[in-house]
Chain A
């Protein structure tokens, strides 16, 4: 007999509940923000919805992760950061891709 551990993982997706693991160890620290007072777009803290709302950032995504911005499950990822999306899909997004994306995002004025 075993305990009935709830399998809530699917609800996390179905309820558009965002996900992240926490202040993950940054491996993408790169250029300083374009503006010293306003956070630049990045892979650690910027939500996908904000990246999609910025045409330059969307172009960066299309360049490095073709297909992501038209993915059928995009609606369920909108409140995730790219780091969280990487963590939610093990092996699908290599770390070097995130590094490259972050370097390009750092060039976008905010």
Chain B
């Protein structure tokens, strides 16, 4: 019987091979969905994908691109937005 904390559907099974050849089952949290562009829905590059704990452990510069709208819009949509504002 798994421990009470592991009796949930929000965790996945990870099979880990121990040094003695025994295979033990670890229960780990699912990773969240891939980050998407708010405008076009494309997959965002350079944005960390992990559980909130893993994300919090990384530095802020490693979490998203260092550009305006970084981590929210993709680079194409950012460029479009800037161009629109400039050409007005």
Same complex for A and B? Answer no
B-contacting residues of A (Cβ < 8 Å)?
none
